[in-house]
């Protein structure tokens, strides 16, 4: 028996060769994607490499499958063709998944992994809807494709699923990708075309559709070329749009409605659900549930973020950024939360803080305010609230009655009065404190605080009902004082400064008086603080200086051997042109500079030591003498006395009136201060002498100059001149040496002598020196009282 064997050799057709050539056009696109991935870094590099890998897998699977089909008979629709189609479908599906991953990873496609997952789920919702509608159209009884329905080839299922997913994801990116979105959407369209083409190639191989294979291969190459072209711009800077929740649910609602409508139509036509229908509905439902879960989680996290931000902004709105204390809003909130419990409010204002800002700068001022806040915080009790109300004004809300609040206020006053170490130096500040425990706490504490400042500062005042009337009066005084000079309501009186023990007048202190036609006589301790706070003190001080010097010129022209002392406000002292103004007035009126004494208080000394020394030195260069008033009131130190360019030391009246000590010696500190002043080369003047006993104590201590009610109150110029006429000596007394320049062979009084690095002291002019006058001879010195004491005469 003769057996004949035949071998069937497949000869490729022209259409098949065209398909293979068209598929080779995708190879350059894959190469471009790979080169783009190597050129980029970070997120863009990862996305481009994923796209390149996906394109290579799809192209490689398609080339391998198509070449196998051309060289063998596996394209004939038999079992071999189905196996080849299935293998191609798996390979191209892997590439399509990789392409989808690269699309989602593109810069601008999503904010992060969580957003990318939301995009994928949204794409699944759309894809499941498209799948189900497509199933209804191709399944019986609709059977839209008829005999072309690809039921016989299961290899088309996997690429078809990925194709609809790619379409759904592209739709989601078109809605939610960052702007500009066109680049990301183009990449998604290219991937969708590639996925559709993969399904077409697999189906064509399975069903031996040469035209379908050729069309799908060309479409696959076009998709990859579109991806390679669009990906070049897909990693450019994007503008973030939308919100965290990505509101707008039409892309999820519409697909679900399509599924419901398609299912209703299918069932109404007598159709049944097979595995493919169940698959579409299951994916749709699971994707919606997962998306809803993520949305709820996003809402929860977003709510937590909102609460945290709200708390942050609430803290900013109720907290002072400089000190970390509560601000005015925070204090008002604490007052409301305290309710009807027993509470008190302590209002605090730092005295003279504006001078620190003006002379040392706002940086130093802010450092001082921060230290004030720190001191308040360290001295709070549990439940107390400290606040900075603005500028240098603070408040403390505490639980307790009025007596406890007053005790706490005195404790805070002492704490805030301690020196402030700033930039290697010390700044001394006092505080005015007001306490309120009933009524409108903010309003009442503010009134008590303002009253404390009116009464001399550095004190604690408890609110009283009469403060409202005092505040109205202060407003009236402020308005009327502006016109007091123009309306000729101000005048000067003069209090004598006498030599001890002869009690002969050698100087006069100019005291300011204000008589209003309706308010009557207004005390200096009431209107001087008003002038300082309203900014009128410079004008009033200039008026006082000019009129005092004019009166002194008249007395000198009449032959009276006298000199004048005038009080100097700290605000005047810090005026850069003040020394020149003094020199101009003296030159205009022809008054010898040594006949004028300008007085500065210890409080001004404590504000800014370095600036004060410079200003006082400028004044002394004009030839006038400088007096330090209120010595012993609590600010000056030995170091300051050695540094300050002063000539006269005025002993505070509180030391003169000091009761007897345990040793039985009256006013022991007077003796100490007088000896100290003489050792430092300073003239010493005791003020506030009101009794013969006090005069004896001062004389016994060696003080040669005195002032006080014992020697006379402030009187008009004509009365003072009458006293001078009655005490005119037979022969003229020698005038003191001119201060414009020291003697040729001797240093000036109170001259600073440098002892070594960082060491200075004043050269002392002792009573044993020839220049020091004998006790029996009247000294030629004068002084003025501080603004607080201007009303004593």
State the burial class of residue 611 (Cβ atoms within 10 Å of its Cβ: 0-12, 13-18, 19+): middle
Helices (H), 558-650: 570-573, 578-589, 602-607, 609-621, 638-643
Which residue has tokens 């300082």?
532
What is the arithmetic mean of pLDDT over 212-221? 88
**Collapsed DSSP state (helix, strand, coil) of residue 218:** helix
Mean pLDDT for 772-788 is: 37
CB 600, CB 566: distance < 8 Å: no
Angle 70-75-80 from CA coordinates, rounded to 5°: 115
Strand boundaries in 447-537, DSSP class E: 460-462, 490-499, 504-516, 520-522
Length of the chain equals 793
pLDDT at site 73: 53
pLDDT band at residue 619 using 50, 70 and 90 as cut-offs: very high
Report residue 644 as tokens: 């300050």
DSSP annotation of 598: E
**Distance of CA 579 to CAs 32, 567, 575, 618, Å?**
83, 14, 8, 6
Q: What tens digit of pLDDT does each residue of 131-189 get?
A: 888 888 888 888 777 766 666 666 778 888 888 889 888 888 888 887 778 888 999 99
Give me the sheet containing 385-390, strands edge to edge. Answer: 385-390, 393-399, 343-351, 430-436, 460-462
Nearest to 542 by CA among 513, 575, 497: 575
Handedness of CA 370, 372, 373, 374 (dihedral sign): positive
Give 375-401 as a DSSP string: HHHHTPPTT-EEEEEETTEEEEEEES-
Is residue 345's pLDDT more than 70?
yes
Q: Which token pair is 426?
A: 């010390």
In this structure, what token pair is assigned to residue 301?
Answer: 């996290």
Which of the four pLDDT bands, split at 50, 70 and 90, describes residue 433? very high
CA distance 562 to 559: 9
16-49 per-position pLDDT tens digit = 667 777 788 888 888 888 888 788 777 788 888 9
The mean pLDDT value of the chain amounts to 80
**Per DSSP, what are the bridge partners of residue 485?**
none
Distance CA 194, CA 92 (A): 9
Residue 311 has pLDDT above 60, yes or no: yes
Q: Out of 346-350, 364-368, 473-477, 735-739, pick the least confident.
A: 735-739
pLDDT of residue 440: 87
At residue 198, the 3 state secondary structure works out as helix
| pLDDT of amino acid 150 | 62
Q: Residue 186: CB partners within 8 Å, gap ≥ 6? A: 226, 229, 230, 234
Helices 210-230, 42-71: crossing angle, 10 deg rounding: 160
The answer to whether 345 and 395 have CB atoms below 8 angstroms apart is: yes
Residues 703, 498: Cα–Cα separation, whole Å:
11
Over residues 373-379, mean pLDDT = 93
Is it the case that residue 370 has pLDDT exceeding 80?
yes
Chain centroid, CA 200 distance in Å: 65
Dist CA 682 CA 630 (whole Å): 15
Q: In angstroms, what is the C-alpha Rg of the chain?
A: 49
d(CA 676, CA 673): 5
Q: What is the pLDDT of residue 589?
A: 94
Q: In which band, very low, low, confident or very high, does the pLDDT at 671 lie, cut at 50, 70 and 90?
A: confident
CA–CA distance, 656 with 647 (Å, rounded to integer): 20
Residue-level pLDDT at 746? 38
Q: Does residue 249 contact residue 288 with C-beta atoms inside 8 Å?
A: no
Using a CB cutoff of 8 Å and minimum separation of 24, what contacts does 280-284 make?
A: 280/128, 280/129, 280/131, 280/132, 280/135, 281/128, 281/132, 283/124, 283/127, 283/128, 283/131, 284/125, 284/128, 284/129, 284/132, 284/255, 284/256, 284/259
CB 409 within 8 A of CB 426: no
Structure confidence at residue 516 (pLDDT): 92
**Residues 728-738, mean pLDDT to the nearest whole number:** 50
Cα 29 to Cα 664: distance, rounded to the nearest angstrom: 112
**Would you place residue 704 in the very low, low, confident or very high pLDDT band (cuts 50, 70, 90)?**
very high
pLDDT band at 6 (very low <50, low <70, confident <90, very high): very low
- Cα–Cα distance between 107 and 105 in angstroms, integer? 6
For the segment 587-606, the average pLDDT, to the nearest whole number, is 85
Packing angle of the helix pair 250-268, 275-318 (nearest 10 deg): 160
DSSP code of residue 627: E
Using pLDDT thresholds of 50, 70 and 90, give the confidence band for residue 663: very low
Q: What is the pTM of this model?
A: 0.48
User: What average pLDDT score do residues 743-751 get?
Assistant: 39
Give the pLDDT score at 639: 63
User: What does the alpha-carbon distance between residue 633 and residue 630 come to, in Å, rounded to a whole number?
Assistant: 6
Per residue in 85-122, pLDDT (tens digit) is 888 889 999 999 999 999 998 887 887 787 888 888 88
Rounded CA separation 234/109 (Å)? 9
Cis, bond preceding 348 (omega within 30 deg of 0):
no
Torsion angle of the four alpha carbons 226, 227, 232, 236, in this order, in degrees rounded to the nearest 10: 110
Q: Tens digit of pLDDT for each residue in 636-645?
A: 556 667 778 8
Instruction: Work out the percent of the chain whose per-residue pLDDT is above 70.
Output: 81
| Residue 505 scores a pLDDT above 80 | yes
Residue 787 corresponds to which tokens in the numbers above?
């603004």
Question: What pLDDT, on a 0 to 100 scale, did the predictor assign at position 240?
Answer: 56
* pLDDT at position 610 over 90: no
Reported as a pLDDT band with limits 50, 70 and 90, residue 761 is very low
**Higher pLDDT among residues 239 and 90, named by residue:** 90
CA–CA distance, 144 with 123 (Å, rounded to integer):
25
In the prediction, which pLDDT does 376 show?
93
Identify the pLDDT of residue 685: 94
Closest CA to 163 of 69, 113, 92: 92
Strands (DSSP E) along 186-261, which ranges?
none
Structure tokens at 374: 């720190």
């Amino acid at each position: 028996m003769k057996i004949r064997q035949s071998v069937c050799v497949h000869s490729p057709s022209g259409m098949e060769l065209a398909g293979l050539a068209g598929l080779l056009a995708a190879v350059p696109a894959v190469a471009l994607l790979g080169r783009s991935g190597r050129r980029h870094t970070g997120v863009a590099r990862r996305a481009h490499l994923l796209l390149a890998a996906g394109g290579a897998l799809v192209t490689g699977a398609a080339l391998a499958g198509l070449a196998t089909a051309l060289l063998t008979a596996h394209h004939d629709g038999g079992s071999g063709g189905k196996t080849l189609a299935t293998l191609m479908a798996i390979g191209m599906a892997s590439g399509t998944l990789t392409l989808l991953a690269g699309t989602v990873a593109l810069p601008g496609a999503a904010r992060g992994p969580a957003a990318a997952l939301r995009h994928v789920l949204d794409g699944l919702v759309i894809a499941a809807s498209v799948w189900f509608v497509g199933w209804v159209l191709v399944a019986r009884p609709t059977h839209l494709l008829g005999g072309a329905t690809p039921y016989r080839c299961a290899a088309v299922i996997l690429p078809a699923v990925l194709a609809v997913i790619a379409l759904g994801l592209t739709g989601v990116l078109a809605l939610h990708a960052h702007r500009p979105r066109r680049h990301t959407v183009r990449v998604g369209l290219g991937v969708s075309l590639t996925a559709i083409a993969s399904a077409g190639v697999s189906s064509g191989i399975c069903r031996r559709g040469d035209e379908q294979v050729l069309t799908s291969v060309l479409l696959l190459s076009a998709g990859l070329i579109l991806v390679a072209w669009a990906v070049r711009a897909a990693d450019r800077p994007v503008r973030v749009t939308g919100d965290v929740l990505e509101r707008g649910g039409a892309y999820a609602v519409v697909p679900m409605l399509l599924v419901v409508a398609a299912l209703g139509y299918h069932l109404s036509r007598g159709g049944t659900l097979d595995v493919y229908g169940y698959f579409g509905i299951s994916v749709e439902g699971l994707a919606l549930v997962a998306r809803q879960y993520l949305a709820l989680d996003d809402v929860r996290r977003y709510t937590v973020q909102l609460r945290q931000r709200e708390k942050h902004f609430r803290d900013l709105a109720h907290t002072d950024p400089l000190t970390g204390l509560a601000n005015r809003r925070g204090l008002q909130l604490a007052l409301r939360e305290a309710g009807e419990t027993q509470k008190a409010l302590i209002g605090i204002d730092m005295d003279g803080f504006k001078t620190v800002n003006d002379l040392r700068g706002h940086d130093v001022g802010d450092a001082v305010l921060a230290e004030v806040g720190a001191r308040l915080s360290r001295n709070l009790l549990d439940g107390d609230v400290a606040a900075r109300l603005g500028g240098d004004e603070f408040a403390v809300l505490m639980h307790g009655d009025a007596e406890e609040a007053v005790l706490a206020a005195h404790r805070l006053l002492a704490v805030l009065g301690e020196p402030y170490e700033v930039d290697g130096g010390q700044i001394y500040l006092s505080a005015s404190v007001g306490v309120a425990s009933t009524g409108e706490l903010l309003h009442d504490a503010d009134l008590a605080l303002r009253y404390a400042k009116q009464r001399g500062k550095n004190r604690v005042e408890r609110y009283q009902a009469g403060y409202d009337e005092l505040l109205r009066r202060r407003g009236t005084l402020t308005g009327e004082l502006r016109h007091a000079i123009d309306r000729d309501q101000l005048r000067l009186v003069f209090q004598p400064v006498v030599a001890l023990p002869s009690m002969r007048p050698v100087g006069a202190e100019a005291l300011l008086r204000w008589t209003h036609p309706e308010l009557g006589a207004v005390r200096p301790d009431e209107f001087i603080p008003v002038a300082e706070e309203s900014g009128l003190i410079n004008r009033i001080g200039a008026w006082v200086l000019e009129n005092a010097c004019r009166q002194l010129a008249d007395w000198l022209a009449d032959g009276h051997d006298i000199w004048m002392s005038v009080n100097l406000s700290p605000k005047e002292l810090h005026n850069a042109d003040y020394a020149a103004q003094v020199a101009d007035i003296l030159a205009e009126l022809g008054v010898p500079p040594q006949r004028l004494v300008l007085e500065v208080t210890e409080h001004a000394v404590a504000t800014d030591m370095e600036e004060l020394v410079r200003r006082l030195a400028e004044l002394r260069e004009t030839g006038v003498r400088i007096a330090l008033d209120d010595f012993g009131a609590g600010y000056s130190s030995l170091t300051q006395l050695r540094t300050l360019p002063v000539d006269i030391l005025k002993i505070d009246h509180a030391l003169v009136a000091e009761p007897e000590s345990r040793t039985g010696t009256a006013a022991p500190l007077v003796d100490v201060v007088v000896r100290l002043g003489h050792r430092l080369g300073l003239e010493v003047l005791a003020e506030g002498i009101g009794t013969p006993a006090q005069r004896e104590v001062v004389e016994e201590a060696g003080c040669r100059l005195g002032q006080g009610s014992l020697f006379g109150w402030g009187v008009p110029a004509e009365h003072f001149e009458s006293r001078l006429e009655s005490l005119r000596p037979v022969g003229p007394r020698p005038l003191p040496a001119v201060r414009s320049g020291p003697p040729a062979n001797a240093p000036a009084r109170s001259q600073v002598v440098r002892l070594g690095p960082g060491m200075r002291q004043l050269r002392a002019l002792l009573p044993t020196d020839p220049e020091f006058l004998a006790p029996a001879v009247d000294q030629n010195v004068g002084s003025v009282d501080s603004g607080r004491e201007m009303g004593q005469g």
